[in-house]
Amino acid sequence: MDEGRIVKVSGPLVIAEGMGNARMYDVVRVSDKRLIGEIIEMHGDRASIQVYEETAGLGPGEPVYTTGEALSVELAPGLIEAIYDGIQRPLDKIKDRVGDRIERGIELPGIDHERKWHFEPKVNPGDSVKPGDILGIVQETTVVEHRIMVPYGITGTVRDIKVGEFTVVDVVATVETADGLRDITMLTRWPVRRGRPYAEKLPPCAPLVTGQRIIDMFFPVAKGGAACVPGPFGSGKTVVQHQLARWADSDIIVYVGCGERGNEMTEVLMDFPELIDPHTGEPLMKRTTLVANTSDMPVAAREASIYTGITIAEYFRDMGYNVALMADSTSRWAEALREISGRLEEMPGEEGYPAYLGSRIAEFYERAGRVKCLGADGREGTLTAIGAVSPPGGDLSEPVAQATLRVAKVFWGLDSTLAARRHFPAINWLISYSLYLDRLEEQISKTVAADFGDLRKEAMQLLQEEAELEEIVRLVGIDALSIKDRLSLETSKSIREDFLHQNAYHEVDTYTSLPKQRLMLKAILDFHHSALDAVEAGVEFDAIMKLEVRNTIARMKYVPEHEEERLSSVFQQIKAAFIGLTQAVGGEEVA
Amino acid sequence: MLKEYRTVSEVAGPLMVVEQVEGVKYGELVEIEVSKDEIRRGRVLEADGSKALVQLFEGSAGLNLATAKVRFLGRGIELGVSMDMLGRVFDGFGRPRDGGPQIIPEKRVDINGNPINPYARDYPSEFIQTGISAIDGLNTLVRGQKLPIFSGSGLPHAALAAQIARQARVLGTEEKFSVVFGAMGITFEEADYFISDFRRTGAIERAVLFVNLADDPAIERISTPRMALTAAEYLAFEKDMHVLVILTDITNYAEALREVSAARMEVPGRRGYPGYMYTDLASMYERAGRIKGKKGSITQIPILTMPEDDKTHPIVDLTGYITEGQILLARELHRKGIYPPIDVLPSLSRLKDKGIGEGKTREDHADTMNQLYAAYARGKDAKELAAILGEAALSEDDKKFSKFSDEFETRYVNQGHEENRTIEQTLDLGWELLTLLPVRELKRIREEYIEKYLPDTRPA
Ligand SMILES: Nc1ncnc2c1ncn2[C@@H]1O[C@H](COP(=O)(O)OP(=O)(O)OP(=O)(O)O)[C@@H](O)[C@H]1O
Ligand SMILES: Nc1ncnc2c1ncn2[C@@H]1O[C@H](COP(=O)(O)OP(=O)(O)O)[C@@H](O)[C@H]1O
Ligand SMILES: [Mg+2]
Ligand SMILES: [Mg+2]
């Protein structure tokens, strides 16, 4: 192992000399405390090192040891239900070892090397295999079948394959390759800054169903898509991310808490083992991996945490799963980049961010996608990336938000005025968009109901109309509006309050299936149509507003999914209510 | 024997360069002998070969390059902790300020502390009754939360913080808060307000104060809150106490940080504040919380005066991104004579959801809270409309909402400095105000609660 010497320490940045044999992005151990660092710049034999742990107490003259390896994660059974720091050290084991606070220089593997797993082979001796082929499986949790793949770079014939209980470092198969025999363990390593390979990238085509009405109905994200949630503090970025981690119909969730609050990770740790996944009936934790680099943890590891998370996510994608990754918040990651860049005395770009900010953000979101995986079976996997953005003052004109908007295909714009009036999720429907809408709507219309798209279009039209009408009301008062316009306003209000508004903390309201979403919106619009007809027939506006059935519509969100009859009975009630009204004015029955 | 250097080569603002040093460590504590009877402190900001860049806590006035003697102490900045701290007043660097004796420390602790492992945290969920409706009812505080007060110059944030410190208690327990008070650059009068209030109520016996006043060294403010938090951690996690930490004024702290950053000629972030200010503030705020298996807790109430009442100012904005909500004081309400002038719409407690409801406060709490918010927001809209078009332009419903929002401000938000409302009183008051609205508009409340709690206003 080569050894260099520290010449300078400035915050998380250490400069060392005598590093001529090291390479860019090699991991090094700094001082005899063996703090973990990564080389991010080389000038001759001088290396600039970002250190992933607190550097207080380090000084010039102390040694730096190179490892010759790039920053990597361990990939094997044991990832699910884990909670890691930004460089994949298991936080539960750290607590066991050093107690409640994170100390420096702790070396712990990301995966337990001693635990045994039941390995079941899927190939036979004599089979020829290539990278990505599934050699065997391990039932990692009740819901995750961990597929052990032929590692990248190995092609040949299976000489030997075992069945039984093994640790991740035991040899489970031997493959004869052109270069001789290769032993295969369940554990592989992958450098986090390099995307894992796949056979082919494909356009995303299926919706990620989130159970969040405004998202699924108006601004859906595709499995394999990229979405961003920008918003000022307290507008609901984290709750949106938590809700998706809870309810999205994804096989695997990787949740990266990047430079945010410790308690938010604790909340996930506390809730997820208790919450039941509506799709599998099992606890949500059984499909979840957490990466937590909270805001008080070292800033350089915050930069790494995003890559650690997405590499784990890609690994499960490669098994053929639908994986969703949430990163809260990518702005903190960008700030870590800025801090290191500043210490390197690089030429700053906009607002002190390095000039390469945009390309780093683009690279991150490009690692999302729907792919044909390596392996002969041609399986597909998806990786959906959802990043929170925390713009200073909530102003989207800043560099991180701008760079993100250039690459993310879905934009859920959170709005502090909506949040202040406790309209949650505070996604502003007038500025948000999804570029997947057309493609997904076709599919949803086929699987849920043919009128899904029409309902959405009409509702969105009403909301846009509302914005214009409100403007008129502000200028000249409500009396200037026609009855029809006033109905439009009332219906829009109903769409906002009874459909878009969704309380994450209400046991029923927190999740709504697509069929129920459709029923709710259809009820609101049916009422609207009936009301328009009734007005034609001479019914008073106020009489319509007093109809009790409006209350029934408003409370549909609280009716549990399984009470289907109660939900669909609303259409009868609407009809009956209007028949009553029109008969009272002597008009004809409303169709 | 520590080596003494007389090699100060440069002094600029709060910074000093010492040359030809050996074995200097990043972050270590430095002593500077300015004259025979004056010793100042500093901290190594950068160790570069044989040069050390040192931040001076007490400034550079009167420092002579040729005669100053510098010693590197080989350790970080530490605070000696012991139970004897209770009832005492220290300066911003942890030295007695009340004329009392030095503390004999049980141990010395580095004031920077290590990050809490998120896996070791326990989620804060114990309701703290502050007796203030706008907080208890709508922005509920829980034990272990960090909930700042965003204020403005001339607004009664000190009175509010003192009232919280006086009244706060957890229902069904007899445990008392101890209070740790960190003052950064506030005026003598303001500090005196707190200290007198603590004396008056006897809270001083259970309080530890770290006080850096407006005319004390500015850079010292960078260590003051960390001194306070180190004391708090000792009391909470080693002595099982429930500690309320009041830090005031974070704005002065951030300005000291900016001063150091500017002197280092760092690339500035927004409005000249350093790019690492988020991380720096987080390293203090995140020291609030609960830890599994520990009895005590740290609840933080930092106070910020928003420059120009601007909520998007970086100090305020970054704080809001780290803390678990905010209590926002509004000048407009203060002018109307409402105390506490809490603007409830932009205020928020992010941890309220797990601290309220059946068994904690009352089953109807969450629903009525949501309803009060929505109704107040709508009432304010209606009033805005009426201001333009006149009262007559409002619909019947909007008139009711408008009236509701007035009553809400004067009866619910407004209360006396000494008025300590129970949570039941607060919740019942909410229901009483909701009777001003049509029942069909109470969509955020479950029907069963409306049946059970809405006072019957129909004439008998
Ligand atoms: N995210 C948003 N984007 C655009 N406009 C919005 C947004 N949220 C609210 N508005 C608009 O602000 C106005 C006021 O909204 P608000 O929710 O206050 O309605 P409201 O006052 O509650 O309705 P009503 O008074 O009829 O009950 C409406 O025009 C609404 O469409
Ligand atoms: N869908 C929702 N339902 C109910 N409350 C919500 C919802 N979304 C956000 N909130 C409230 O808003 C607060 C702030 O949300 P959070 O996601 O933490 O904001 P951010 O991450 O943008 O700072 C939450 O603590 C919660 O009280
Ligand atoms: Mg958040
Ligand atoms: Mg309105």
Q: What is the dihedral of CA B378, B384, B388, B389, to 10 degrees?
A: 20
Q: Is there a contact between A48 and A22 (Cβ–Cβ < 8 Å)? A: no
Please give, rounded to a whole number of angstroms, the shortest distance from the CA of B193 to a CA of chain A. 32
- The residue nearest atom 25 of ligand 1, judged by CA position, is B378
CB atoms within 10 A of CB B188: 12
pLDDT of residue B393: 81
pLDDT of residue B270: 83
pLDDT, average across residues B165-175: 83
Distance of alpha carbon A214 from alpha carbon B47, whole angstroms? 53
Distance of alpha carbon A102 from alpha carbon A112, whole angstroms? 19
pLDDT of residue B460: 47
Please give the DSSP secondary-structure letter assigned to residue A173: E
In the predicted structure, residue B230 carries a pLDDT above the cut 50: yes
Which of B87, B109, B76, B57 is CA-nearest to residue B231?
B109
Residue B294 contacts A where some CB pair is shorter than 8 Å: yes
Distance of alpha carbon B351 from alpha carbon A326, whole angstroms? 21
Q: Helix count (H) and strand count (E) of chain A?
A: 16, 26
Distance of alpha carbon B256 from alpha carbon B66, whole angstroms? 27
Residue among A342, A422, A497 minimizing CB distance to B275: A342
Q: List CB-based neighbours of ion ligand 3 within 5 Å.
A: A 237-238
For A123, the token pair is 């190939």
In the predicted structure, residue B310 carries a pLDDT above the cut 90: yes
Angle between helices B365-389 and B423-434 (to 10 degrees): 50
B 74-113: CB under 8 A from A: 76, 112-113
Mutate to test the interface with A, among B321, B351, B388, B408 (most CBs of A within 10 A): B321
Residue A332 contacts B where some CB pair is shorter than 8 Å: yes
pLDDT of residue A590: 44
- Which residue ranges of chain A lie beneath pLDDT 50? 589-591
What are the pLDDT digits (tens) for A398-457?
A: 999 999 999 999 999 999 999 998 999 999 999 999 999 999 998 898 999 999 999 999
Q: With contacts defined as CB-CB under 8 Å, which chain B residues touch A83?
A: 118-119
Closest ligand to A417 CA? 1
A 285-304: CB under 8 A from B: 292, 294-297, 299
pLDDT of residue B205: 92
Q: What are phi and psi of B325, to 5 degrees?
A: 115, -170
The pTM score is 0.93
Mutate to test the interface with A, among B18, B125, B267 (most CBs of A within 10 A): B267
Distance of alpha carbon B413 from alpha carbon B426, whole angstroms? 10
Please give the DSSP secondary-structure letter assigned to residue A197: P
Residue among B22, B114, B269 minimizing CB distance to A352: B269
Q: Is there a contact between A145 and A379 (Cβ–Cβ < 8 Å)? A: no
pLDDT of residue A87: 93
Residue A164, amino acid: G
CB atoms within 10 A of CB B292: 13
Residue of A nearest to B377 (CA): A421
- State how far Cα A29 lies from the chain centre: 32
Residue A233 contacts B where some CB pair is shorter than 8 Å: yes
Please give, rounded to a whole number of angstroms, the shortest distance from the CA of A441 to a CA of chain B. 31
Contact call for A59 and B118, based on CB within 8 A: no
CB atoms within 10 A of CB A584: 12
Does the N-terminal peptide bond of residue B249 adopt cis geometry, omega within 30 degrees of 0? yes
Tell me how many degrees the CA angle B282-B287-B292 measures, rounded to the nearest 5. Answer: 130
| CA atoms within 13 Å, Cβ hemisphere of A50 | 23
What value does the mean pLDDT of chain B take?
93
For B11, the token pair is 């002094």
Q: Hey, which of A243, A263, A416, A424 would you mutate to test ligand 2's pocket, going by the most ligand atoms within 8 Å of its Cβ?
A: A424
Q: Is the dihedral of CA A291, A294, A299, A303 positive or negative?
A: positive
B 373-392: CB under 8 A from A: 373-374, 377-378, 385, 388-389
Closest ligand to B400 CA? 1
In the predicted structure, residue B174 carries a pLDDT above the cut 50: yes
Please give, rounded to a whole number of angstroms, the shortest distance from the CA of A59 to a CA of chain B. 4
Where would I find the H helices in A477-513? 483-494
Q: Is there a contact between A535 and A488 (Cβ–Cβ < 8 Å)? A: no
Q: With contacts defined as CB-CB under 8 Å, which chain A residues touch B326?
A: 234
- At residue B55, the 3 state secondary structure works out as strand
Q: Is there a contact between B357 and B152 (Cβ–Cβ < 8 Å)? A: no
Q: Is there a contact between A419 and A236 (Cβ–Cβ < 8 Å)? A: yes
Closest ligand to A232 CA? 2
Which of A458, A143, A407 is CA-nearest to residue A285?
A143
CA of A477 to the centre of ligand 1 (A): 15
pLDDT of residue A476: 83
Q: Is there a contact between A314 and A324 (Cβ–Cβ < 8 Å)? A: no
Q: Is there a contact between A510 and A561 (Cβ–Cβ < 8 Å)? A: no
pLDDT, average across residues B16-33: 95
Q: Is there a contact between B178 and B209 (Cβ–Cβ < 8 Å)? A: no
Distance of alpha carbon B143 from alpha carbon A256, whole angstroms? 26
What are the pLDDT digits (tens) for A137-154?
A: 999 999 999 999 999 999
In the predicted structure, residue B175 carries a pLDDT above the cut 80: no
Contact call for A102 and B117, based on CB within 8 A: yes
Residue B30 contacts A where some CB pair is shorter than 8 Å: no
Residue B2 contacts A where some CB pair is shorter than 8 Å: no
pLDDT of residue A1: 56
Residue B350 contacts A where some CB pair is shorter than 8 Å: yes
Contact call for B317 and A100, based on CB within 8 A: no
What residue has token string 């102490």? Answer: B73
Q: Which residues pair with A175 in a beta bridge?
A: A158, A182
Q: Is there a contact between A247 and A271 (Cβ–Cβ < 8 Å)? A: no
Q: Is there a contact between B180 and B206 (Cβ–Cβ < 8 Å)? A: no
pLDDT, average across residues B258-282: 89
pLDDT of residue B457: 67
